[in-house]
């Protein structure tokens, strides 16, 4: 009976959040939910065997809260950061497309500028560049994703341009 109750609670919490068997992450989330169920069993104030109804409700809430937190983090990551992989910061080749019509010397100069600029940008400015260059978004689209005004995005753009101009006019010490 305990195993059946565990499955009902876990799958019920997943179903409550709209995660069904055909969902691409169903198996992973079900496995995590089983772990959260075990934590709820350990942390339940009282005896889970004696008060099964209260424990089932407690475990369901714990799993639901964990799922809710996970989805909130995912939404924040998707909406507020256009960056897909922070590891790309060191390799700035993506900033200038290799198949573009830009002359090779101009492309090399642009890549050198971006490599020099990247360490001086804030995370928000880096995210702005990624949104513009990688995803081709304009200021209005970025503002919608960041849930801010186009003027705020324009301000970030101005800071990036100011830093780029300062770095491009500075002597290259390499």
User: pLDDT, tens digit, for every residue of 48-72?
Assistant: 889 999 999 999 999 999 999 888 8
State how many domains the chain has: 2
Reply yes or no on whether the pLDDT at 82 is more than 60.
Answer: no
Same domain, 12 and 76: yes
What is the model's pTM? Answer: 0.47
Using CA atoms, how far residue 50 sits from 1, 31, 56, in Å, is 13, 26, 11
Same domain, 90 and 156: yes
* Cα torsion 102, 107, 113, 114: sign: positive
Measuring CA to CA, which residue among 24, 20, 3 is closest to residue 11?
20
Give the best-scoring range by mean pLDDT among 111-115, 122-126, 143-147. Answer: 143-147
Picking from 29, 45, 80, the residue at the C-terminal end of a domain is 80
For 45, the domain range is 2-80
Q: How far apart are CA 39 and CA 6, in angstroms?
A: 12
The CATH number covering residue 94 comes to 1.10.10
| Residue of 144 and 87 predicted with greater confidence | 144
């Amino acid at each position: 009976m305990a195993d059946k109750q565990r499955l009902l609670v876990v799958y019920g919490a997943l179903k409550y959040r709209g995660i069904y068997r055909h969902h691409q992450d169903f198996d992973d989330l079900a496995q995590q939910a089983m772990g959260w169920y075990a934590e709820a069993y350990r942390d339940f104030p009282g005896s889970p065997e004696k008060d099964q109804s209260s424990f089932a409700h407690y475990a369901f809430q714990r799993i639901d809260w964990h799922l809710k937190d996970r989805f909130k983090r995912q939404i924040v990551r998707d909406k507020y950061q256009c960056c897909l992989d922070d590891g790309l910061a060191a390799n700035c080749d993506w900033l200038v497309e290799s198949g573009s019509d830009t002359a090779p010397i101009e492309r090399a100069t642009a890549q050198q500028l971006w490599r020099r600029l990247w360490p001086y940008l804030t995370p928000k400015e880096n995210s702005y560049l990624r949104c513009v260059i990688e995803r081709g978004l304009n200021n209005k689209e970025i503002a919608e994703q960041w849930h801010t005004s186009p003027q705020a995005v324009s301000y970030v753009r101005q800071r990036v341009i100011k830093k780029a101009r300062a770095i491009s006019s500075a002597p290259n010490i390499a």
